[in-house]
Amino acid sequence: MTDVRVAGVGLTRFGSHPDRAGRDLFATAALRAFEDAGVAREDVEALNYGNFMGALAEHQGHQAPLMAEAAGVRCPATRYESACASAGVAVREAVRTVRAGDADVVLAGGMERMTNLPTDEVTEGLAIAADDLFEVRAGVTFPGAYALMARAYFEAYGGGARGPRARRREEPRERGSERVRPVPPGGVRRRGARRAAGRGAAAPLRRLSDHGRRERLVLVSEEYATAHDLDAPVAVTGVGQRTDRLALADRAHLARTPAADDAADAAYAAAGVEAADVDVAEVHDCFTIAEVLAVESLGLADRGEGIAAARDGLTTADGDLPVNLSGGLKAKGHPVGATGGSQIAELTRILRGDHPNSEHVADAEVGVAHNAGGTVASAVVHVLEVAE
Amino acid sequence: MTDVRVAGVGLTRFGSHPDRAGRDLFATAALRAFEDAGVAREDVEALNYGNFMGALAEHQGHQAPLMAEAAGVRCPATRYESACASAGVAVREAVRTVRAGDADVVLAGGMERMTNLPTDEVTEGLAIAADDLFEVRAGVTFPGAYALMARAYFEAYGGGARGPRARRREEPRERGSERVRPVPPGGVRRRGARRAAGRGAAAPLRRLSDHGRRERLVLVSEEYATAHDLDAPVAVTGVGQRTDRLALADRAHLARTPAADDAADAAYAAAGVEAADVDVAEVHDCFTIAEVLAVESLGLADRGEGIAAARDGLTTADGDLPVNLSGGLKAKGHPVGATGGSQIAELTRILRGDHPNSEHVADAEVGVAHNAGGTVASAVVHVLEVAE
């Protein structure tokens, strides 16, 4: 078992890039990652690539060979898909590949292109991450699903539905992810859901219109880093992946995400750290309630205390435990299949001290990344540490 | 590094199953695999799942959690997608996971459902395995792409275009995979390609109308097999995966599949065997030319001699080196994302001696499975051996 280092990261800016093909942006991100890493692309032995909905958004499956060509690497290239946790799973497997000694250098990350679909088709496309037979056909969209989770949370722990933040629900023009139209008790027909999305009733997803994104990580073994005299101080010391039932109706508790609980436990155990050791976190806050649940799953706040952690300032940029110094998923537009990789890329820079927001965590040594798919039916947690 | 054993296999019959959901068929296959293996599903530590076009055919992504639930396992579940090599890649990763000691028991396989799409939409869907920008929009379909490869082969090695088999092209009612309408020199518009498929001009794909299929493998470590006194004589001793350029136009030679050449070399090297040691093979014969190229990539025939190997009887059921005793992909309807798993399942049974066609290879000890994605931009080769 070797130590796994993040040798370098490369990102393209979040946004719509109508004038460039995905493969071109990918090539740019790869170039940046190789430059940052100081690693020759000839040394790459595997490409692990996350993408969620390319079949729908780009009429392009089988993207791994395409991205290998774009990145200029000649190696086995594999696509991983776990909805919004696609890139997280790709990185997890890359870490395992290096740790097992099957490769010294792996290029890992994700890409998602969504801006070439109309907004209502994006909503429809994202819905393939839910259970088509038992959720989507009953009218469930992702804002609807997370609204159910938020309601369950407020019912279980209070402090929400009647609290100051929840009032935003009555103010549809105000920014906030609870601003959703609840699914009627009898559900809605799928065509109805499509129309509703088109009218903007599932409002948070509108902001997904801005999210072309590719990010790449170069992961190397400690031996390779030493042999090549790389400046790669950040190590991936623990990973955990867990899977839950896909449909919300099959879960014991809508306000908990046990897949993330267990993935965090596994990652902490592998790293030999505890939640109390964590200095900084990037979490999957596709909706505000998702951040609350993530903070609790990671053990950074007690059950039912996730909202208080934010409200009391613990997890703000100047708090003791900053969460999402990168701006989080909503700030990025959440390019679904790429998000998990960008978390680790940004966390690496935060821990290295060369992220624009590194100043908030000057002495951070332990970071954790939490990436979720669907309504957390898939969860991947990575622990990153500044190595000696 | 532990030895990896195929503890058990389970298959559902090939065909259209309009009355059952994919997850139900999956549950059936899993039940059979667990019964065959004698392994408790509680012991499964990972599910590796291959699927290609579920987003289009079933409006269902994020299928791994769904299949974990169907199979009754609680473990990290991951979907792999490499077009028609999806299940092969899933199994490859499962082998690596067990070999690295990251899990003692992995459930691996694939599923593809295509019968719920009209035939012309299946043709369109399959096309996402090709390069959308530079192939599909120019009118390339998979029959067209493989027809180009066949033509290049015949031009390079002769014996084809003017030979007896090639005459089938002039006999459109006769069965044979070369029966395609060549793409016009100027290409056709995509809409034109759709219409052409609908009229049956890309005839071989019509036969894909019969292909609901799920297959599962239970892979275990040698230690687990010994500890649980399993009857698991077949070991996966070598795997190789390689990636080529996606678009045919970027390849140096249309009549060669270097990704498969290299994947075979890697698998043989890992297993410590040579092509001459192989007793039986399952190869990716989505078109007849694909079998010819596969046999050459595996080193079972010299370059340009793949047709002769079949014509002279070497690779027929009663030949010295039977290829596709299972009937091959066309006999199965080629459920694309599932095919790679079924090859290994059938090869396992052939080597165990309990396959209906085992009689043709009574003393077979070494088998090889060749699984390809797209026009062999992805290739995965597994070597299976009867262990001591």
- Give how far Cα B375 sits from Cα of A47, A347, B258, B338, B372, Å: 19, 38, 11, 17, 7
> Can B84 be counted among the known catalytic residues?
yes
Min Cα separation A54/chain B (Å): 9
Q: What pLDDT does residue A166 have?
A: 33
State pLDDT tens for residues B85-116: 999 999 999 999 999 999 999 999 999 888 77
From the list A212, A210, A217, the residue with the least C-alpha distance to A349 is A217
In degrees, to the nearest 5, what angle opens at C-alpha B343 toward C-alphas B339 and B349?
140
Min Cα distance A74 → chain B (Å) is: 7
Confidence category of residue A211, pLDDT binned at 50, 70, 90: very low
At residue B331, the pLDDT reads 78
> For B121-142, what is each residue's pLDDT tens digit?
888 899 999 999 999 999 888 8
Give phi and psi for A265, each to the nearest 5.
-55, -45
Supply the pLDDT for residue A160: 54
CA–CA separation, B22 and B113 (whole Å): 7
Q: Nearest by CB to A102, which of B68, B78, B96?
A: B96
Identify the weakest region by mean pLDDT among A54-68, A112-126, B46-60.
A112-126
**Locus of tokens 């596994």:** A266
The pLDDT assigned to B18 comes to: 79
**What are the extents of the domains in chain A?**
4-115+213-386, 119-205
For A261, A314, A385, B21, B242, the CA distances from A320, given in Å and listed in that order, are: 22, 5, 17, 49, 47
Q: Rounded to an integer, what distance in angstroms lies between the CA atom of residue A346 and that of residue A9?
A: 8
Q: Which CATH code of 3.40.50.300, 3.90.1170.50, 3.40.47.10, 3.40.190.10 fits the domain covering A4-115+213-386?
A: 3.40.47.10
More confident residue, A212 or A28: A28
CB burial class (10 A; 0-12, 13-18, 19+) of residue B233?
middle
Mean of pLDDT over chain A = 85
* B90, B337 contact by CB (below 8 A): no
Residue B161 pLDDT > 70: no
Per-residue pLDDT, B197: 37
Q: How far is B98 from chain A (nearest CA, A)?
A: 11
The beta strands (E) that lie in chain A are given as 4-11, 46-50, 77-81, 105-112, 213-221, 234-243, 280-282, 366-373, 378-386
pLDDT attached to residue A335: 84
Q: Distance between CA atoms of B384 and A310, rounded to whole angstroms?
A: 55
Q: What is the DSSP string of A218-285?
A: EEEEHHHHHHTT----EEEEEEEEEE--SSGGG-S-TT--HHHHHHHHHHHHHHT--GGG--EEE---
Structure tokens at B317: 């059921």
Q: Inter-chain contact A76–B377, Cβ cutoff 8 Å? A: no
Residues sharing a CB contact under 8 Å with residue A386, sequence separation 6 or more, in sequence order: A233, A234, A235, A351, A352, A364, A365, A366
Which one of A25, A135, A246 would you mutate to disrupt binding with B, by most B Cβ within 10 Å of its Cβ? Answer: A246
Termini Cα distance of chain B:
17
Chain B residues with CB-CB distance to A58 below 8 A: 132
Under an 8 A CB cutoff, do A241 and B66 touch? Answer: no
Reduced to 3 states, what is the DSSP secondary structure of residue A66? helix
A131 contacts in chain B (CB < 8 Å)? 60, 66
Of A367-371, B245-249, B337-341, give the lowest mean pLDDT range. B337-341
Q: How far apart are the first and last CA of chain A?
A: 17
Chain B partners within 8 Å of A66 (Cβ): 131, 246
**What is the value of pTM for the model shown?**
0.86
Please name the member of A55, A96, A241 whose beta carbon is closest to the beta carbon of B53.
Answer: A55
pLDDT recorded at residue B159? 60
Residue B5 has pLDDT above 90, yes or no: yes
Given the residues B84, B286, B370, B382, the one annotated as active site = B84
For residue B358, what is the DSSP state?
G
Q: What percentage of chain A reaches a pLDDT higher than 90? A: 68
* A76 Cα to chain B: minimum distance (Å): 4
Residues of B in contact with A96 (CB under 8 A): 97, 100, 102
Selection from A288, A292, A254, A265 nearest residue A375 by Cα: A254
B214 pLDDT band, cuts 50/70/90, is low
Q: What is the pLDDT of residues B367-384, one digit of tens each?
A: 999 999 999 999 999 999
Phi-psi region of A333 (alpha: psi -120 to 50; beta: other; left: phi over 0): left
Average pLDDT over residues A169-183: 34
Name residue B109's beta-bridge partners.
Answer: B49, B216
Q: So what's the pLDDT on residue A1?
A: 62
Distance to chain A for B75, nearest Cα, Å: 6
Beta bridge partners of A109: A49, A216
Alpha-carbon Rg for chain B, nearest whole angstrom, is: 20
The Cα–Cα gap between B273 and A98 comes to 26
CB contact (8 A) between residue A81 and residue B83: no
Query: ipTM of this model?
Result: 0.86
Q: Is A84 part of the annotated catalytic residue set?
A: yes
The answer to whether the CB atoms of B59 and A377 lie below 8 A apart is: no
Report the candidate in A36, A46, A104 with the shortest Cα–Cα distance to residue A79. A46
Residue A193 banded pLDDT, cuts 50, 70, 90: very low
Q: For residue B264, which phi and psi values (nearest 5 degrees)?
A: -65, -45
Pair of tokens at residue B77:
């579940």
Q: What fold characterizes domain B4-115+212-383?
A: Peroxisomal Thiolase; Chain A, domain 1 (3.40.47)
The pLDDT of A219-238, averaged and rounded, is 95
Chain A residue numbers touching B243 (CB-CB < 8 A): 47, 64-65, 68, 74-77
**Minimal Cα distance from B71: which residue of A?**
A245
Describe the crossing of helices B22-37 and B63-71 by its angle, rounded to 10 degrees: 50
User: Cα dist. B344→A241, A257, B46, B89, B331 in Å?
Assistant: 27, 36, 18, 12, 16
The pLDDT tens digits of the residues spanning A337-350 come to 889 999 999 999 99
What SS3 state is found at B23? helix
Per residue in A127-139, pLDDT (tens digit) is 999 999 999 999 9
Q: Which of B46, B45, B64 shows the shortest CA–CA distance to B54? A: B64
Which residues from A are below 8 Å from B75, CB to CB? 243
Q: How much is the pLDDT for B160? A: 54
Residue with tokens 């991983």: A80
State the Cα–Cα distance between residues B357 and A63, nearest whole angstrom.
37
Annotated catalytic residue within A17, A75, A84, A382: A84
Q: Pick the range with the lowest mean pLDDT from A83-92, A215-224, B348-357.
A: A215-224
